Amino acid sequence: MSIIQPNVTGRKIPRRLTALRYGVCTRTIDRWQNDPELGFPQPTVINKRKYDDEDKLTEWDRAQVRGA
């Protein structure tokens, strides 16, 4: 029996691309991040810029579908 592993990229994407991914502004992403009930993944900050882990975003997306 084989176990299917999700495709793990380790890729970090800038906050503006995260906003484009969800069709919202970057401020909305900040609000989601600050809402503990949503469980939105926390960013990595590099040189005062926020980057989101693409794998964690995909995991969060899947959790939203399962919870719906």
Return the DSSP state at 61: H
pLDDT tens per residue across span 1-53: 445 556 777 899 999 999 999 999 999 999 999 999 999 999 999 999 999 99
Complete edge-to-edge strand list for the sheet that includes strand 44-46:
12-14, 49-53, 44-46
Q: How many CB atoms lie within 10 A of CB 1?
A: 2
pTM for the full model? 0.81
Looking at residue 54, what is its pLDDT?
96
* Residue 67 pLDDT > 80: no
Phi, psi of 35 (to 5 degrees): -100, 105
